[in-house]
Amino acid sequence: MHQLINEPTLNVGKEELNFTFSPAGILSAIRSNKLMVSLFETPMSEMAISNIYLRTIENDQYSATPLLFFNDKIETFQLSNGSLGWKTSTEKFEATVILHTEQNAFFYDISVRNVTEKNLRFELIYGQDLGLADEGAVKTNEAYCSQYLDHRIIQDPTTGYVVCSRQNLSQSCGNPRIQLGALSPVVGFSTDGYQFFGKEFKLTGQPKALEQVSLANENYQFEMGYVALQTEQQVIAPQQCSTITYYGVVQAHCVDSNMQDAIAFEEVKDLYAKKADVSFEQGQLLEVKPQVKGAYIVGEPLTDIELTELFGTERRFVEETEGELLSFFFGDSQYVTLPAKEKRLERSTGHVIASGNNQDYRNPIMSATHYIYGVFNSQLTLGNTSFNKLLGVCRNPLNQFTHGGQRIWVKQGDEYRPLGMPSAYEVGTNYSRWIYKYLNGYIEVRSFASSEEPIIQLDITTRNLDQVLEIAVSHQLVFGNNENDSIVRVLPENEGFTICGSNELIETYAADLSFNLMPSAELCESDLITNPTNGSVEYLVVKGLVHDTARITIGGELSNVNSKGKVLEFDFEVERCNKNLRDLTKGFKLHFSNDEVNSQRLNESVHWFTHNALVHYSTPHGLEQYSGAAWGTRDVSQGPFELFMTMQEFGKARDLLKEIYSHQYQETGTWPQWFMFDQYTTIQQEESHGDIVVWPLKALADYLTMTHDFSVLSEILPYTLAEHGFVKTEHGHSLFEHVERQVQHIIDNLVPGTSLSCYGDGDWDDTLQPANQSLRENMVSGWTIPLTLQSLKGLGGVLNHCADFAHYSEKLFDLAEKMEMDYHHYLIKDNTIAGFIHFARDEQGNVEDVEYLLHPSDSKTGIKHRLLPASRSIISETFTPEMAHQHMASIKQHLVHPDGVRLMDKMAEYKAGQQTYFKRAELAANLGREVGLQYCHAHIRFIEALCKLGDADAVFDNLYKILPVGIQDIVPNAELRQSNAYFSSSDAKFNDRYSAYDNFAQVQAGEVPVKGGWRIYSSGPGIYLNQLISNVFGLRFNNLDLILDPVISSRLGEVKIAYEIGGKPVDVVISPQQGKHTPKTIKLNGEDVPFEIQPNRYRTGGALISSKWLNENLKDTENTLAVSL
């Protein structure tokens, strides 16, 4: 274990450009005014990932030595001008590095002396992580910042490669850019940390690039900005010296795009000439020595016999490559990953656990994030997942910083080494288990959550080891949002430690928050590592000898809930947590007589998507998107709401509606884009997209349609005051009054002269946010309008059934009628719906022209087809039958790909960050998330549209494409990914936007591999579960009457669904005999069931069975509902 030191930091440079170093001379961060130039702020006791490597070449063999850190032969000096220098002496060379800063530039002078009696061949490689954004933005999400960091490679005839990196997202200073190069020829480059370090770094701890002849020499625009530059090889004679200089120049703002010229070489040399001359002779050797990073303890490979002993004989959805077992499922959907798979994955396998009280967002819920490579708990929170952290997040996805979160260190000889990659990693609903084959036995670590209370426990068990295990368990304490935000206090007590602190935000919103960490008796020693400046405790370390077992239990106190001082039992909590999940899903289980594999694929997915949906609902964050803690108004009105509605949890859905409507702005009648729902409720984003106001209306219409619970309209709810700090109003108003204000906002924001809603700040596709004010006010989304029509008609129709509110239906229908007329008049051209229309106006505001964008007639963007307007127009039944079938044929022709349907037939053209029409679509340098066009949320809505049309074969052609379980069986060009986590997008494997734009046709042909995007945190899992149960298998409700409207391909054979209806167990057996939808006969326990066929504009509809009849005829135990199609 590294000595956890905290002494005053060292600074080089001025505010314009400043380098911060640890007391041992290890780079912490590079800043330029408010800008964080580096991507990571190296924790005090860690090694920076930025470095300069000297590689000697002898007999075609490469040997690399780091010249700044990770080097046990290094001496670090503070020089006379306050700068730093590093000196490394080996048997082959003596190398010195001196850092200089001059205005907005920095220089590393590297001098290499050959100390042998023969020629020395060498080269240098400099690697620098880049964030290039305001510090708050970087620390909110490093990967997101990297996605918008455009790297431009320029080849200069004199100096070789120069890399100019521009942050395309606007920062406080504009769009900053950095130019990295050398004053001597650079022959190799790479631009992302995954190129340099490699996926294997998680196992080896060694940068892959240092073992290769050359850097990648490719611009890979991914999620870890890291520019590496390789100099030309040099040969120096014995006792001779050579000097090479790397440089970086930071520009606060690079206008328009990254196509601006590079800074001229002569200009760089002029800056270099101004630097002060300093030498080591004038320097002072630093007293604190950097420690060479010890290797991880990696679990030994397991034999097949050992795997069977650990996990049993059952293995489902086995993944193998080249004869190696990679992963499998077993038991109650437990998922096991082996290192053979992990070394092939870009996205590290991880898991989010939460205490079992997470089915009600109002509870104080304890949550934590795990990673396969020995992160036993990180981002451990009680309540708000951003601000109420006990343990910090893991900022580096390759496990390069080994003190983040909760870690276990095993003493070997005189040093502690961290547990890294296990022999096997297992995840269940509420736990992770790491198994390390070690010293002829096993170390087993389990981290799990209570099924009822906010408690998380770490169990450490040893079996058959050759010796007693001496361990230390470290905890990186945060008590706030980011590291160093708080002054953390640790108070020893009889039952462990109470952890609290001084944090302005917590004191304002959650003043009673505290945590309790209770080690078992085996871990009887402890160390506190504090910040010397303010006394804040940064690490709590507990130590001891483990003969058999040890544990650490973490509880807390918040909102009058106190879970301190309690101990958990693993098997009991796991079984009860699984029961909680089964109860929520109403025992849902599938069997297809002709396709058992795919029915089991869906069963595994239902289990894990329910887990993922609950994370999105009550502990909102993900593996990549660790920041969150809020509900998007659009998202919560879909994912969580649809989850609870399809699971017949109508009370929870009602509570959601009340919470959502209490965040409506009194001043405008609309909503924030997102808002926090706990004690931090005043933290929200006021500006919102044009469709946001519609989603609560749609959710309310769906709730009333399914339940006829009109009493919810009389609920008295507050408003939120946008102009007074987002506090709630003291006096409430009925939910119906909220609806009136909401509809008035829609009316007030119609494009002048029409009944069409203006685009505002965007629609569902976040990448297509408008680039200027004219587009906001005069553009119309072809998707928002049919969504609004569906909501207005749905609410108007159901209100007709309630005398108290029937009068309002007329207003809703009148608005919908006018909007639908303009929909057909303006948005439909040549029988095809436009993605957008733009009303071009003269200086007097008169419409001169209607411009059609994302339409076959669009000559400006080059994009001819957009999915969302067509799919939503089918779902809402706004299209005529002819138009519906025509547009679905067009979607299948132009937008359906092997890995799912895409948002458009062509991506927006990328021009190094230059904006024309849309923000993120033209700013993101990375081909991920919505930018890559296959966003799984939209694919799920496409399935909904197919169900509306009754296209059963197409439903099942597409139903499995976005399931991670055994995905390569369904999508042959899919790359490996974590098999139990929802992925929000499927991203074609192109290095950058340019190659993707030029070769996009290869994606539809299946000629390009596709990768899984960000995981878990999405409304998608909840929506998928709703579509699967309510529309594919057709089990839904209207006025609590049961509707049976399955859309079943005959290739499945007989479909059997175990499910509870109205709290009673039912086996629904569906036989596609005469057709693929619309029941022909229905029998309950052998007796004919009376039913009525429901309307559907595009096909015959489903069958409605009255709730009264069902309640009278369903038995309390076993029931069989046989449906013949």
- Of 904, 889, 959, 971, nearest in space to 935 by CA: 904
CB 221 within 8 A of CB 191: yes
Residue count of the chain, please give it. 1125
- Looking at 765, 766, 992, 1045, which residue is catalytic? 766
Token couple for 1106: 């009255």
182 beta partners? 246
432 beta partners? 427, 447
- Of 883, 1012, 868, 1003, nearest in space to 941 by CA: 868
CB 964 within 8 A of CB 349: no
| Inter-CA distances, 385 with 186, 421, 1020, 1066, Å | 45, 26, 20, 38
Which residues make Cβ contacts (< 8 Å) with residue 365, sequence separation at least 6? 354, 355, 357, 358, 382, 383, 454, 618, 619
CB 150 within 8 A of CB 493: no
Active site residue 804: no
Beta-carbon neighbour count of residue 499 at 10 Å? Answer: 24
CB 390 within 8 A of CB 499: yes
Token couple for 604: 């595994």
3-state secondary structure of 46: coil
- The structure tokens 């067009």 sit at 890
CB 711 within 8 A of CB 785: no
Cα 32 → chain centroid? 28
Measured distance CA(161)–CA(216) in Å, rounded: 13
Cα-Cα-Cα-Cα torsion 504, 507, 513, 516, nearest 10 degrees, comes to: 50
Count helices and strands (H / E) in the chain: 28, 67
- The structure tokens 């924001």 sit at 749
Write the DSSP symbol of residue 290.
P
Cα 378 → chain centroid? 15
Token couple for 961: 């494409």
- The structure tokens 């670090």 sit at 76
3-state secondary structure of 406: strand
- Of 912, 684, 920, nearest in space to 144 by CA: 920
Task: Identify the H or E element spanning 900.
Answer: strand 900-901
- The structure tokens 């087993």 sit at 444
- Of 2, 4, 8, 3, nearest in space to 25 by CA: 8
Token couple for 387: 């601000």
Measured distance CA(770)–CA(761) in Å, rounded: 6
212-217: list long-range contacts, CB under 8 Å, 24+ apart: 213/62, 214/187, 214/188, 215/125, 215/188, 215/189, 215/190, 216/188, 216/189, 216/190, 217/188, 217/189, 217/190
Alpha helices in 999-1095 (DSSP H): 1001-1004, 1020-1026
CB 468 within 8 A of CB 545: yes
CB 740 within 8 A of CB 812: no
CB 97 within 8 A of CB 53: no
3-state secondary structure of 49: coil
CB 561 within 8 A of CB 383: no
Could you list the active site residues?
766
